[in-house]
Amino acid sequence: MKVRAFLGACLLGASVLTLAAAPVLAESLRVLSGSTRSPLSVPMNRAVVVESDQPFAEISIANPGIADITTLSDRSIYVLGKLPGRTTMTVLGPDGNLLSHVEVQVSPDIAEFKERLRQILPGEQIEVRTANDGIVLSGTVSSAAKLDRALELAQRYAPERVSNLLTVGGTQQVMLKVRFAEMQRSVSKNLSASLGIGSSGSDGYLRGVTNNTAGMTGIFDKTGLTLGSDSLGGIGAGFTIGEVGLGVILEALESKGMVRTLAEPNLTALSGQEAKFLAGGEYPIPVVTNDGVAIEYKPFGVEMVFVPRVVDGDLVNLEIRTAVSAIDTSVTMQSGGFSVNAFKRRDAQTTVEMRDGESFAIAGLLQDDFNDLNNQIPWLGDVPILGALFRSAAFERKQSELVIIVTPHLVTPTRGEALALPTDRVRLPSESDLFLFGRTAKPAGAAGEVARQDYSGSYGYVME
């Protein structure tokens, strides 16, 4: 027991002495400081030779994975960059004194990248820097296409480690001037004959192609001629031989029509952004759902959607979708107590490239519908000349053509003071102007004189 107590006392005393001596050892340590050199930049997979002012006896590198060192002499050091990063190289003298701390920075090799960039994109103000293990691009390029080329080239030297700080100079807003022109023409003709025979005092009996009983009755009764619902003109004659009456009616229809549709929308959008235009309306369509009947609206009229992209300088890439639609009242569907009309629609979608001010046309959207109808009494209608009394003929032809002309312009915003509105040209009349002189509008003064009642043109932008 005494031996164990003695050994325990010795161990306790030794631990106390150790704890008491620890601060003394910490105070005796000091950090050696030598001359600190400026950071040494070493391209990755390349080497540089460093010379020392004094002969050294020992060198070391903190992280051999970033850079490797080899002594060439007692004053020369060979430094090889291995991986992007930073580390420290320590140089000791023959007496063990610290000569220098050198911060070694290994970065991607961008010398070849800069050379290739100047060859592929000459004249572009692109600055190339390194950041950690990546490449940073900054400056201004003249077009989005050259921006893509610079980024694609940088990805080959630093895959997934490229920071893009480039900006695209020049005009990047595109105004699209579109002209829709549509002409519709329709011609229809109809010729029919009615033949009736009857006894005196009766309404007569109709024998012929058409069944205009009311018109034949008016001829026999001498009360007037009644035309059919699809006729605009006619002539009728009747006579009696004893108690037998004969009547003939010739009815004719000829109609011609022409429709002109014109729209000139001007839309402006930033390069790469979508712009939409609709001149028309929305047609309500009932849709049966589980909760009842819901109303959905289908747009119709002149529609346009386009996406401009400024490729290079004044070269513009246009992705455009256009459509012209209208309600077709000749086709009707009945469902659930609702009457819904069909739609006539013509659309086009294309992608083209053109320069500022150039135009292209989407034409050839020609539609030509023709139909004819011939009704006759068998055999009698085939008799030459006289067969026309037992025959009814009609034909209809509809033609329409749509032409779309598209012109892009590079534009920049203008000052608001230079803008003119259609409302600037008209002022409300005073009571004396309205009641005494009958004027519904009062002259607008200088603004109206400048405008000269012209409601077309480009407003709000300056064309390049």
Q: Which CATH superfamily is domain 110-168 in?
A: K homology (KH) domain (3.30.300.20)
**CA–CA gap between residue 255 and residue 233 (Å, rounded):** 11
pLDDT of residue 80: 92
Q: What is the pTM of this model?
A: 0.52
Q: Are 137 and 113 in contact (CB under 8 A)?
A: no
**CA–CA gap between residue 117 and residue 20 (Å, rounded):** 66
Give, rounded to a whole angstrom, the gap between the first and last alpha carbons of the chain: 107
Q: Are 255 and 188 in contact (CB under 8 A)?
A: yes
pLDDT of residue 78: 92
Q: Which is nearest to 166 in space by CA: 127, 129, 133, 130?
A: 127
Alpha carbon of residue 216 to chain centroid: 64
**CA–CA gap between residue 131 and residue 106 (Å, rounded):** 11
The full set of domain ranges for the chain reads 40-107, 110-168, 176-180+264-368+398-410, 415-463
Each residue's pLDDT, cut to its tens digit, for the chain (464 residues) gives: 344 444 344 444 434 333 344 444 345 555 555 555 678 888 888 888 988 888 888 899 999 988 999 888 888 999 998 888 889 898 888 888 888 888 888 887 788 888 888 888 888 888 888 877 788 898 888 777 788 888 888 888 888 888 888 887 766 788 888 888 878 788 887 777 776 766 655 554 444 444 556 566 666 666 556 666 666 666 666 766 666 666 666 777 777 777 776 778 888 888 888 988 888 888 888 887 887 788 888 888 888 899 998 887 778 888 988 888 888 888 888 876 778 888 888 888 889 888 888 888 887 677 778 888 777 777 777 777 767 767 777 778 888 888 888 889 888 877 777 777 766 666 777 888 888 877 777 655 544 444 444 444 444 444 44
**CA–CA gap between residue 319 and residue 306 (Å, rounded):** 5
**CA–CA gap between residue 38 and residue 102 (Å, rounded):** 7
Contacts of 150 (CB under 8 A, 6+ apart): 117, 121, 124, 126, 137, 141, 166
**CA–CA gap between residue 261 and residue 264 (Å, rounded):** 10
pLDDT of residue 430: 81
CA distances from 156 to 81, 107, 119, 126, 455 (A): 20, 16, 16, 17, 54
Strand ranges (E), 118-169: 125-131, 134-141, 162-168
Q: Are 183 and 156 in contact (CB under 8 A)?
A: no
Class of domain 40-107: mainly beta
Q: DSSP states of 72-109 as a string?
A: SSSSEEEEEE-SSEEEEEEEE-TTS-EEEEEEEEEE--
**CA–CA gap between residue 276 and residue 267 (Å, rounded):** 8
CA angle 172, 116, 41 (to 5 degrees): 110
Question: What Rg do the C-alpha atoms of the chain give, in angstroms?
Answer: 47
**CA–CA gap between residue 15 and residue 10 (Å, rounded):** 9
pLDDT of residue 16: 39
